[in-house]
Amino acid sequence: MTTAAYLGRIGLPHLLGAPATADNLRALHAAHVEKVAYEALEIWLDRPTSVEPAESVARILRGRGGYCFHLNGAFHSLLTALGYDVTRHVGGVQSRGGEPGVTANHLVLTARGLPSPDNPGGEWLVDVGLGDALHEPLPLVAGVYRQGPFTYGLRPSEVAPGGWRLDHDANGSFLGMDFDPAPTEMSAFEKMHHHLTTSPDSGFVRVASVARRDGSGVDQLRGLTLSRIGSGAHSLTLDTARDYFAALADVFVLPLDDVGPEERDGLWRRLHSAHESWLAGQAT
């Protein structure tokens, strides 16, 4: 990994060689979610991916994003290269209508040894792969935390002994996330990654989703519906390929420079067909 290139990608080249501190961790976390989109468009482009961090880093460096296994996997590599004490954990995101559990559908990071006035113990929940959730890391201390328009709860997990539970805001895209306290390797996520990228039951396969968090809210693109939660809240449908790709570039910092004209045309046809099917379902 070229650490300097990664820091340049997220707009923080001056942090190369900087000390590992809580303030710098906050800056790195916020910059990552603002500059690197949460997206699974490779599925809709019929481009298989792996959970290998080096592959995820390379994709991020060429201007793309990914979902939790890619984003947190790559961020772990960056933080480690910068001298942070960071650990991977097996997590489980609880969708609305689902049951809580450590299902390995999420990769979680924690960092330690970074005391600050608001977190003397120095342990942090680090997660750049939750889409519409964290903008900055949270102190790994039970409590209620506010970030922009969202309020989060952090408490001991009821399904992972010794682990933690993040309760998302009522306006969030999921109910919460539990994670196991034990360290893990990326191999723990390979089976679930295959399911999430290939199964017709996967939300990523059913809906092309993109999200980008900032300090005052989150922009989301589900299919052809662009919405904003927080400051400047809105919702609109992108009716043309031109509008769709412009939104990717302008709103999500996702110009798709690695996607050629034929792939773009194919992606738009699939997206438009899925949108038409969704509209027909709504009508009935």
Give the model confidence (pLDDT) of 214-231 as tens digits.
999 999 999 999 999 998
pLDDT at residue 273 greater than cutoff 90: yes
Share in percent of the chain as helix, strand, coil (round to 5): 35, 25, 40
3-state secondary structure of 281: helix
Q: What is the mean pLDDT of the chain?
A: 96
pLDDT at 1: 61
Residue type, 187: S
Concatenating the DSSP letter of every residue in 125-193 gives EE-S-SSSS-SS-EESSSEEEEETTEEEEEEE-SSSTT-EEEEPPTTSSSSEEEE-SS---GGGGHHHH
Are 180 and 198 contacting, i.e. CB atoms less than 8 angstroms apart?
A: no
Give mean pLDDT, residues 49-66: 98
**d(C-alpha 146, C-alpha 9), whole Å:** 27
pLDDT at 231: 87
Q: What token pair was written down for 41?
A: 């468009």
Q: Which residue has the tokens 């689902």?
A: 98
Are 202 and 182 contacting, i.e. CB atoms less than 8 angstroms apart?
A: no
Per-residue pLDDT tens over the stretch 152-192: 999 999 999 999 999 999 999 999 999 999 999 999 999 99
pTM of the model: 0.96
Give mean pLDDT, residues 253-277: 96
Domains of the chain and any CATH numbers: 200-283 (3.30.2140.10)
User: In this structure, are strands 85-94 and 106-112 parallel, antiparallel, or unpaired?
Assistant: antiparallel
**d(C-alpha 84, C-alpha 270), whole Å:** 42
| pLDDT tier, 282 (very low <50, low <70, confident <90, very high otherwise) | confident
Compute the chain's Rg from CA coordinates: 18
pLDDT at residue 232 greater than cutoff 90: no
3-state secondary structure of 176: strand
Are 252 and 219 contacting, i.e. CB atoms less than 8 angstroms apart?
A: yes
Q: Which helix (H) or strand (E) holds 124?
A: strand 124-126
Torsion, CA 193, CA 195, CA 197, CA 201, rounded to 10: -140
| pLDDT tier, 125 (very low <50, low <70, confident <90, very high otherwise) | very high
pLDDT at residue 283 greater than cutoff 90: no
pLDDT at residue 284 greater than cutoff 80: no
pLDDT at residue 245 greater than cutoff 90: yes
Q: Which residue has the tokens 């113990």?
A: 121
Find, among 75, 77, 81, the residue nearest to 32 by Cα: 75
Per-residue pLDDT tens over the stretch 98-120: 999 999 999 999 999 999 999 99
Are 124 and 114 contacting, i.e. CB atoms less than 8 angstroms apart?
A: yes
Are 271 and 264 contacting, i.e. CB atoms less than 8 angstroms apart?
A: no
> In percent, how much of the chain has pLDDT > 70?
100
pLDDT at residue 12 greater than cutoff 70: yes
Are 197 and 48 contacting, i.e. CB atoms less than 8 angstroms apart?
A: yes
Cβ atoms within 10 Å of 232's Cβ, excluding its own: 9
Instruction: Please state the φ and ψ torsions of residue 17, each to the nearest 5 degrees.
Output: 85, 0
Give mean pLDDT, residues 21-47: 98
Q: Count of alpha carbons within 13 Å of 166, Cβ hemisphere only?
A: 32
Q: Which helix (H) or strand (E) holds 16?
A: none
